[in-house]
Amino acid sequence: MIYRQKFGEPIETQAVVNLNGVEDCSDKYLEYFKVESGSKVSLRRTLKDGVAVYGLGESTRGINKRGWSYQSFCSDDPLHTEDKRSLYGAHNFIVIAEEKPFGVFVDIPGKVDFDICFKSCDTLEILTDDRDFYLYIITGESMKDIVSQFRKIIGKSYMPPLWAMGYQQCRWSYPDEESVRKVADEHRKLEIPLDAVYLDIDYMESFKDFTVDKSKFPDLQKLTEDLKSDGIHLVPIIDAGVKIEDGYEVYEQGVENGYFCKDENGENYVTAVWPGKTMFPDFLNSEARRWFGMKYKYLTDMGIDGFWNDMNEPAIFYSEKGLEKAWANIEDKKGKNIDLYGFFDLRDSFSKLANSEDDYRAMYHDMDGKRVNHYKVHNIYGYNMTRSAAEALDEIRPNKKTLLYSRASYIGMHRCSGIWMGDNQSWWSHILLNLRMLPSLNMCGFLYTGADLGGFGGNSTRDLVLRWLALGIFNPLMRNHSALGTRNQECYNFERPQELAEMVRLRYRLIPYLYSELNKANDNYTMMFRPLAFDYPDDKFAQAVEDQLMLGDELMIAPVYEQNAIGRSVYVPEDMLLVLFDSSESFTTRKLEKGHHFIQVGLTQVPVFIKKNAVLPLCKSAISTEKLNMSEITIIGWVEDRAEYKLYTDDGISVSNKGEKLITLSAENGEVGCDSGNIRVEDGGVVFE
Ligand code: MIG
Ligand 1 pocket, 422 CB below 6 A? yes
Residues 6+ apart with CB under 8 A from 486: 426, 456, 457, 458, 459, 460
Q: Is residue 286 part of a domain?
A: no
Residue 307's nearest CA partner among 231, 199, 408, 184 is 199
- Which residues of the chain are modeled with pLDDT < 50? 668-677, 682-689
Q: Is residue 98 part of a domain?
A: yes
Residue 688: predicted pLDDT: 47
Q: For residue 540, how many C-alpha atoms fall within 13 Å in the half-sphere facing its CB? A: 1
429: helix, coil or strand?
helix
Q: Is residue 71 part of a domain?
A: yes
DSSP string of 181-215, one letter each residue: HHHHHHHHHTT----EEEE-GGGSSTT-TT---TT
- Residue range(s) defining the domain that contains residue 618: 516-688
Contact at 8 Å (CB) between 677 and 665?
no
CB atoms within 10 A of CB 223: 20
Ligand 1 pocket, 129 CB below 6 A? no
How many folded domains does the chain comprise?
2
Please choose from 423, 449, 452 the residue to mutate so as to test ligand 1's pocket, defined by most ligand atoms within 8 A of CB. 423
**407 alpha carbon to ligand 1 midpoint, in Å?**
9
Q: Is residue 353 part of a domain?
A: no
Q: How far is the C-alpha of 234 from the C-alpha of 316, rounded, in Å?
A: 27
Q: DSSP letter at 671? A: -
Residues 6+ apart with CB under 8 A from 437: 57, 58, 59, 421, 449, 451
pLDDT tens-digit readout, 293-303: 999 999 999 99
Contact at 8 Å (CB) between 208 and 239?
no
CA separation, residue 672 to residues 37, 584, 615, 668 (Å): 61, 21, 11, 8
pLDDT tens-digit readout, 633-685: 888 888 877 788 888 989 999 999 887 777 766 554 444 443 444 555 544 44
Please choose from 77, 203, 311, 407 the residue to mutate so as to test ligand 1's pocket, defined by most ligand atoms within 8 A of CB. 311
Please choose from 198, 202, 310 the residue to mutate so as to test ligand 1's pocket, defined by most ligand atoms within 8 A of CB. 310
pLDDT tens-digit readout, 189-237: 999 999 999 999 999 999 999 999 999 999 999 999 999 999 999 999 9
Q: How far is the C-alpha of 60 from the C-alpha of 73, rounded, in Å?
A: 13
Out of 154, 173, 202, a domain closes at: 154
Q: Is residue 449 part of a domain?
A: no
Out of 139, 154, 169, a domain closes at: 154
Strand segments, DSSP code E, in 469-519 are 478-480
Q: How far is the C-alpha of 88 from the C-alpha of 228, rounded, in Å?
A: 32
Strands 403-406, 306-310: pairing is: parallel
Q: Return the CATH number at 41.
A: 2.60.40.1760
Q: What is the pTM of this model?
A: 0.96
Apex CA 213: angle with CA 209 and CA 215, to 5°? 175
Nearest CA to ligand 1 atom 8: 311
Q: Return the CATH number at 583.
A: 2.60.40.4040
